[in-house]
Chain A
Amino acid sequence: AQSVAQPEDQVNVAEGNPLTVKCTYSVSGNPYLFWYVQYPNRGLQFLLKYITGDNLVKGSYGFEAEFNKSQTSFHLKKPSALVSDSALYFCAVRDINGDNYGQNFVFGPGTRLSVLP
């Protein structure tokens, strides 16, 4: 079975500093990895995904993620954090389950990012 771990419940960073939100995964086949962000009282917003190709994936709002197969990690990064980046971040892996019909994701528990002014 696929699974995702986010080892940090909370990450605090000063505005303007680089940020990293960690994610590790366990899959039985090829890893298809995603990052989503959730603002208060809102649904999830897609940030970026890794399917194949370059290990560094660029996404929305200046975020990027680094895929590391040997460490089974997919850490989310941003060079310079903004106060408006404060939110709940979810790493997810797509559960293939034998077909290509859809988008059933297995989500991690989430990491709350606080960017301090």
Chain B
Amino acid sequence: DAGVTQSPTHLIKTRGQQVTLRCSPKSGHDTVSWYQQALGQGPQFIFQYYEEEERQRGNFPDRFSGHQFPNYSSELNVNALLLGDSALYLCASSHGTGIIEAFFGQGTRLTVV
């Protein structure tokens, strides 16, 4: 059973560009969340998708947007990249609602130059 898979693994972009990161949840999972982990820090919640809708959002600007597809996979889009957007972006999935643990992918390392 494949866990949470993310692509690409690494990415280098130029300031001002746009980027799209992709995530396939663990089999049987229907909820996907995205986190940003800056170097030396804990992950910070960006937003969460369930039933193809954004359900909750963290303290991130509108430059960060996302989408969930009918097969539960998800994309994270970041526009007008800033140097400060350089980080490890983690996707997490789970099934259903309630107080449950999440399963995380290996992340996409984004470097903005």
Contacts and interface: CB of A to CB of B under 8 A. Distances in A.
Interface of A: 4, 32, 34, 36, 41-46, 49, 51, 90, 92, 94-95, 97, 99-110
B63 interface: no
22 contacts: A34-B101, A42-B106, A43-B4, A43-B105, A44-B43, A44-B90, A44-B104, A49-B99, A95-B45, A99-B56, A100-B97, A100-B99, A101-B48, A102-B50, A103-B33, A103-B92, A103-B94, A103-B101, A104-B33, A104-B48, A105-B45, A107-B44
Size class of the contact patch on chain B: 20 to 34
Given A49-B99, A90-B43, A108-B42, A102 B106 contact: no
B73 to A, nearest CB: 16
**SS class, residues of chain A in contact with chain B:** loop
B43 A102 contact: no
A43 B100 contact: no
A67 to B, nearest CB: 14
A95 B56 CA distance: 10
Given A32-B99, A44-B90, A101-B55, 13 more contacts: A36-B104, A46-B102, A92-B42, A99-B55, A102-B94, A103-B92, A103-B101, A105-B45, A107-B42, A107-B43, A109-B40, A109-B42, A110-B42
B107 interface: yes
Nearest to B91: A43
Interface in B4-43: 4, 31, 33, 40-43
B70 interface: no
Contacts of A42: 106-107
